[in-house]
Amino acid sequence: MIPPPSGQQFSISRGDQRAVLVEVGGGIREYRVGGRDVLEPYDVTAMADGGRGGALIPWPNRLADGRYRFDGVDHQLPLTEPAKHNAIHGLLRWRPWQATDAQENEVTMRTTLHPRKGFPFYLDIAIRYALSDDGLTVTTTATNLGDTAAPYGCGHHPYLSPGAGQIDGAILHFEAATRIVTDADRQLPVGTEPVRGTPFDFATPRPLGALAIDHPFTDLARDADGRAWVRLRGNDGAIAELWVDDSYPLIQLFTADTLAPAHRRTGLAAEPMTCPPNAFQTGDGLIRLTPGATVTTRWGARLTRNSDRALM
């Protein structure tokens, strides 16, 4: 029997929650509560499109020309977004990962990023997916196994689900003070602008409508626990929520207008990022991972129904 394109499937559950993690890319293929999608899934017979559910390591988003300099040495990576002459979303989305520490409600996906041309560094990467009464928590840990410092950034690419239908009628609640402005041709940063009073201001919840978004946001509003939230209420009244801890200073929102027609605007990507696009070149937010050092980042998701608590 030919295995699924995403490789082995690893299911975890708790109560009415169910998540499926995959061998290829170590990402999440589905997360649902009571049969209602929280994160938009992709079919077991399909490859992940649009970065769906993937881990974006060792850099999220785009790197201009695939080129960067680190500690005085120039490096060249493959152009994985050739039309825009960029390298995009790291090196691990199509690599096999191993499942370890598997229990009924949690599993850790692990891989080793060996030195290679363009990234001659040696990292161990582990992503723990765990279900609790508070939903799904995703904990990513990177350790430098090499004898030199390594540049590092981390991101993930989940899509919040509006339930049935498209996101146009869904209500978005998201508070960020600053949008990183990108150029139209290559989607690389060219500046910043305040969000307040612009079409991207969702501090007061409102429908997305036909607005197209594919931008990073920072200066995120945070609650007393240091979490920043993206909340998407579907037509069924259920709210798909995503949070990031303070290890993620940015969230990229993407309304999926450029995906294949079957997946266009059917979910809202809310991508936790430790650094902005092109960080390998600019150094903005880039983590310098010294030999033996470890960095850990966390985000999570859950489903809230209107009867659970007043949120929007």
Encode pLDDT of 268-301 as tens digits: 999 999 999 999 999 999 999 999 999 999 999 9
What's the domain count of the chain?
Answer: 1
- Whether 88 maps to a domain, the answer reads yes
Longest alpha-carbon distance in the chain: 57
309 pLDDT more than 60: no
Residue 195 has pLDDT above 50, yes or no: yes
pLDDT of residue 312: 61
Q: Check if the beta carbon of residue 253 is closer than 8 Å to that of residue 207.
A: no
Using one digit for the tens of pLDDT, what is the confidence trace for 108-155?
999 999 999 999 999 999 999 999 999 999 999 999 999 999 999 999
Question: Where residue 216 sits, what CATH number does that domain have?
Answer: 2.70.98.10
State the pTM of this model: 0.95
Task: State how far the Cα of 24 lies from the Cα of 42, in Å rounded to an integer.
Answer: 13
Give the structural domain span for 126. 9-304
Residue 2 lies inside a defined structural domain of this protein:
no
Cβ atoms of 30 and 38 closer than 8 Å: no
Q: Kindly report the number of other CB atoms within 10 A of residue 298's CB atom.
A: 18
**Residue 148 placed within a domain:** yes
312 domain residue, yes or no: no
The 10s digit of each residue's pLDDT in 166-192 is 999 999 999 999 999 999 899 999 999
Tokens read off for 113: 């990023």
DSSP labels for the chain?
-PPPTT-SEEEEEETTEEEEEESBTT-EEEEEETTEEEE----TTS---TTTT-EE-S--SEEETTEEEETTEEEE---SBGGGTEEES-S-TTSB-EEES--SSEEEEEEEE--BTTB---EEEEEEEEEETTEEEEEEEEEE-SSS-EEE--EE--EE--SSS-GGGSEEEE-EEEEEEE-TTT--EEEEEE-TTSTT-EEEEEE-TT---EEEEEEE---TTS-EEEEEE-TTS-EEEEEE-TT--EEEEE--TTS-GGGTTSSEEEEEESS-TTHHHH-TT-EEE-TT-EEEEEEEEEEE-TTT----
d(CA 199, CA 45): 37
3 domain residue, yes or no: no
Dihedral sign from CA coordinates of 160, 260, 155, 23: positive
> Which whole number is the average pLDDT over 236-247?
97
What pLDDT is attached to residue 310?
46
Q: Is position 309 within any domain?
A: no
Question: Within a domain: residue 209?
Answer: yes
Tell me the per-residue pLDDT of 70-107, one tens digit each, with 9 for 90 and over.
999 999 999 999 999 999 999 999 999 999 999 999 99
Asked, for residue 13, whether it belongs to a domain, the answer is yes
pLDDT on residue 237: 95
